């Protein structure tokens, strides 16, 4: 599994590919220069660094595993939700599109290697192709093309499923690189959120400001990192790995609690119940013990860092947890989202089959600001897919996710001794189960970090399924 597919090029083909690459690089360079000069003139002095980075990119793109590590490492540049187009977002977007284009061109046209093997993979690529043409529908439905561009970029991250899966299957260290990338993203979000939360506490002058203080950014990466570390605590036979995973799980769980996001708290509970359900009896007890130990570690760290303020913080979290029972009627933000869903359902009822295209705007009365808002974003992820793509788009995305989920479960249940592949499948399946809950009030499909995360997780599971199948063919006793 350490090999890779080789390019089959004649001399003439090689020269043509090289010429195309040079022409593409020249065109991209001209476009970047034009964009920066016309829109971001203060960054013109940085253009030489950009082109120097392109030379470094030539080296990186010849090493697929290093390329994936660089992509996962640099995604933290776009995790902050800031208004407008940031220069780091432009550079990451160019790198991402170059990565995606290079991978698909080389695999489809230059390598003697099948790409879309399983049925769900063919469904996914068909959805991505059709999604790319929906701006035509957007124009017909008088949608906003600027919004459509952003939504297309977010959904296009699903295409990363294919290179991630290939890396896990092909390279011996591919799975380790992907897990390391996910850990890096989770740790980055955790540290940044802790600093942001510290600023909230330092600026607080009243007790209620502390109890209501939140670090509500990028909950998804924290949830995924928490589950992946949890499954290694539960199932790994290597005590060193479990010893490392325990503090990581406690840290990510603490970070998730700091967000005070009830939707993601419920999602974590749902994912934990799923792990409890699929685990043999001895691992169920370990799940309880791990949760208790992580709680003690998180409380100890909070007491050391916050001192006397820890009681106010815990009181705020407890009130937030208790409020879940009546949030659907008393929380104005949640009620507002229900009204939003009601307005979207009315549009879906008119056109349930075809949809309205990405970037489509709808009107809804906002009870928080007491005005009629015209917007494209829908907080309910399932309704958002149905509104934009019709029943065909919702069905295709759900088919892909459910298929990955089912294959992961089959791997989990295929043996009593958990291999690393089985552990990863358990973590991904728990994440899918959890996000299926949070998607009702926190749309993951048009958020960059969530779509990037979804592609990485499903690609990891897809690769682990293939690795596990290969291992069983080589040794049926596994």
Give the confidence band of 58 by pLDDT, cuts at 50, 70, 90. Answer: confident
Same domain, 109 and 202: no
Residue 143 forms part of a structural domain? no
CB 227 within 8 A of CB 294: no
Q: How far apart are CA 15 and CA 91, in angstroms?
A: 28
Same domain, 107 and 198: no
| SS3 (DSSP) at 175 | helix
Report helix angle 119-133 to 161-170, nearest 10: 150
Same domain, 175 and 101: no
Mean pLDDT of 87-92: 81
CB atoms within 10 A of CB 324: 15
Same domain, 427 and 321: yes
Residue 146 forms part of a structural domain? no
Same domain, 305 and 420: yes
Residue 99 forms part of a structural domain? yes
Same domain, 162 and 283: yes
The answer, yes or no, to whether residue 341 has pLDDT greater than 70, is: yes
Same domain, 104 and 176: no
Q: Measuring CA to CA, how many Å separate 326 from each of 227, 295, 323, 412?
A: 27, 26, 6, 36
Domain boundary among 113, 133, 166: 113
Residue 153 forms part of a structural domain? no
Give the confidence band of 315 by pLDDT, cuts at 50, 70, 90. Answer: confident
DSSP bridge pairs for 372: 365
Higher pLDDT, 137 or 37: 137
Range of the domain at 272: 158-331+377-474
Same domain, 46 and 191: no
The answer, yes or no, to whether residue 20 has pLDDT greater than 90, is: no
Mean pLDDT of 250-257: 90
Residue 144 forms part of a structural domain? no
Same domain, 299 and 402: yes
Same domain, 191 and 292: yes
CB 234 within 8 A of CB 279: yes
Residue 81 forms part of a structural domain? yes
Domain boundary among 45, 80, 113: 113
Residue 365 forms part of a structural domain? no
Domain boundary among 98, 113, 128: 113
Number of domains, the chain:
2
Same domain, 287 and 165: yes
Same domain, 310 and 228: yes
Q: Pick the range with the lowest mean pLDDT from 2-11, 146-155, 200-209.
A: 2-11
For 10-49, b/e burial (b = at least 16 CB within 10 A) is eeeeeeebeeeeeeeeeeeeeebeeebeeeeeebeeeeee
Give the confidence band of 1 by pLDDT, cuts at 50, 70, 90. Answer: very low
Residue 130 forms part of a structural domain? no
């Amino acid at each position: 599994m350490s090999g890779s597919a080789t390019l089959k090029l004649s001399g003439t083909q090689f020269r043509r590919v090289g010429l195309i690459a040079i022409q593409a690089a020249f065109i991209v360079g001209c476009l970047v220069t034009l964009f920066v000069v016309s829109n971001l003139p203060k960054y013109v002095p940085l253009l030489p660094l950009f082109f120097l980075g392109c030379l470094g990119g030539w080296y990186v793109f010849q090493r697929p595993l290093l390329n994936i590590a660089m992509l996962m490492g640099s995604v933290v540049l776009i995790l902050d939700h800031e208004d407008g187009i940031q220069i780091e977002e432009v550079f990451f977007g160019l790198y991402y599109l170059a990565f995606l284009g290079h991978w698909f061109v080389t695999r489809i046209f230059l390598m003697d290697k099948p790409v879309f093997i399983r049925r769900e993979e063919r469904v996914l690529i068909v959805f991505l192709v059709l999604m790319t043409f929906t701006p035509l529908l957007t124009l017909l439905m008088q949608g906003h093309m600027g919004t459509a561009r952003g939504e297309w970029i977010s959904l296009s991250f699903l295409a990363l499923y294919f290179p991630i899966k290939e890396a896990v299957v092909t390279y011996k260290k591919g799975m380790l690189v992907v897990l390391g990338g996910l850990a890096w993203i989770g740790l980055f979000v955790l540290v940044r959120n802790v600093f942001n939360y510290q600023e909230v506490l330092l600026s607080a002058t009243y007790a209620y400001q502390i109890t209501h203080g939140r670090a509500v950014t990028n909950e998804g990466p924290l949830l995924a990192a928490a589950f992946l570390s949890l499954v290694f605590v539960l199932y790994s036979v290597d005590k060193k790995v479990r010893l490392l995973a325990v503090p990581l799980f406690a840290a990510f769980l603490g970070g998730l609690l700091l967000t005070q996001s009830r939707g993601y708290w419920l999602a974590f509970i749902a994912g934990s119940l799923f792990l409890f359900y699929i685990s043999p009896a001895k691992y169920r007890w370990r799940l309880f013990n791990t949760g208790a130990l992580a709680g003690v570690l998180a409380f100890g760290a909070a007491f050391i860092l916050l001192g006397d303020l820890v009681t106010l913080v815990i009181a705020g979290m407890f009130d937030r947890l208790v409020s879940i029972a009546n949030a659907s009627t008393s929380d104005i933000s949640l009620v507002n989202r229900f009204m939003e869903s009601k307005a979207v359902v009315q549009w879906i009822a008119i056109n349930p089959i075809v949809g309205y295209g990405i970037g489509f705007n709808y009107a809804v009365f906002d009870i928080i600001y007491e005005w009629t808002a015209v917007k494209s974003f829908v907080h309910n992820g399932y309704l958002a897919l149905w509104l934009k793509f019709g029943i065909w788009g919702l069905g295709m995305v759900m088919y892909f996710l459910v298929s990955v989920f089912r294959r992961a479960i089959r791997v989990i249940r295929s043996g009593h001794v958990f291999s690393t592949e089985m552990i990863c499948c358990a973590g991904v399946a728990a994440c899918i189960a959890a996000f299926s809950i949070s998607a009702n009030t926190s749309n993951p499909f048009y958020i960059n970090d969530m779509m990037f995360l979804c592609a990485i997780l499903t690609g990891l599971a897809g690769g682990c399924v293939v690795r596990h199948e290969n291992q069983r063919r080589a040794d049926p006793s596994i």
